[in-house]
């Protein structure tokens, strides 16, 4: 049986990224490892069973502009109240890219960026039956 194990994003500063996802987004730090043999450092964080891997190349710097406006790829975090989430992110000085936006009666969402420009979506499903099982 195959199931999704984790989402991985490249970062330019592993410690800064760990701090961002812990302090501003609320993920729990699991572990960090420097793998000199493969030229990378990585860390795992978790939120309600979903795991995020942060990867930093020890050989090549990685940075991505958040202003390409494609918003893909991105990782999405569920919100019970998109407007409260927006205010919380603003208070934590998280870069907001677009939104909140809404499809009436269905969904509200906004896009933000982490310090490396990786796109984060915060989504509030309004309909009773959600497209995926949210627990």
Task: Note the pLDDT tens digit of each residue in 41-71.
Answer: 999 999 999 999 999 988 875 555 334 445 7
- Closest among 11, 25, 3 to 115, alpha carbons compared: 11
Per-residue confidence (pLDDT) for residue 40, from 0 to 100: 86
Per-residue confidence (pLDDT) for residue 66, from 0 to 100: 39
Per-residue confidence (pLDDT) for residue 135, from 0 to 100: 43
Per-residue confidence (pLDDT) for residue 47, from 0 to 100: 94
The separation between CA 123 and the C-alpha centre of its own chain, rounded to angstroms, equals: 12
Q: Which helix (H) or strand (E) holds 13?
A: none
Looking from the CA of 61 toward its CB, the CA atoms found within 13 Å total: 4
Per DSSP, the residues of 69-96 read ----SEEEEE-S-HHHHHHHHHHTTPEE
Task: Return the structure tokens found at 61.
Answer: 């710097």
Domains along the chain with CATH numbers: 7-57 (3.10.180.10), 69-125 (3.10.180.10)
State phi, psi for 74 to the nearest 5 degrees: -150, 165
Per-residue confidence (pLDDT) for residue 57, from 0 to 100: 87
Low-confidence stretches of the chain (pLDDT < 50) are: 65-69, 129-135
Per-residue confidence (pLDDT) for residue 1, from 0 to 100: 60
According to DSSP, the residues that pair with 108 across neighbouring strands are 102, 124
Q: Which long-range contacts (CB under 8 A, 24 or more apart) does 77-82 make?
A: 77/25, 77/47, 77/120, 77/121, 77/122, 77/123, 78/122, 78/123, 78/124, 78/125, 78/134, 79/122, 79/123, 79/124, 80/124, 81/124, 82/108, 82/109, 82/110, 82/122, 82/123, 82/124
Per-residue confidence (pLDDT) for residue 81, from 0 to 100: 96
């Amino acid at each position: 049986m195959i199931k999704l194990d984790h989402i991985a994003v490249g970062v330019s500063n592993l410690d800064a990224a760990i701090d961002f996802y812990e302090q501003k987004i609320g993920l729990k730090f699991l572990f960090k490892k420097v793998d000199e043999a493969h030229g990378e450092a990585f860390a795992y964080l978790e939120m309600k069973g979903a795991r995020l891997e942060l990867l930093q190349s020890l050989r090549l710097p990685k940075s991505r502009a958040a202003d390409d406006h494609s918003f893909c790829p991105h990782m999405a975090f569920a919100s019970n109240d998109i407007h409260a989430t927006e205010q919380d992110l603003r208070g934590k000085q998280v870069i907001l890219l677009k939104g909140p936006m809404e499809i009436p009666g269905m969904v509200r969402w906004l896009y933000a960026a982490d310090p490396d420009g990786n796109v984060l979506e915060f989504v509030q499903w309004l309909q009773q039956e959600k497209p995926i099982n949210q627990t």
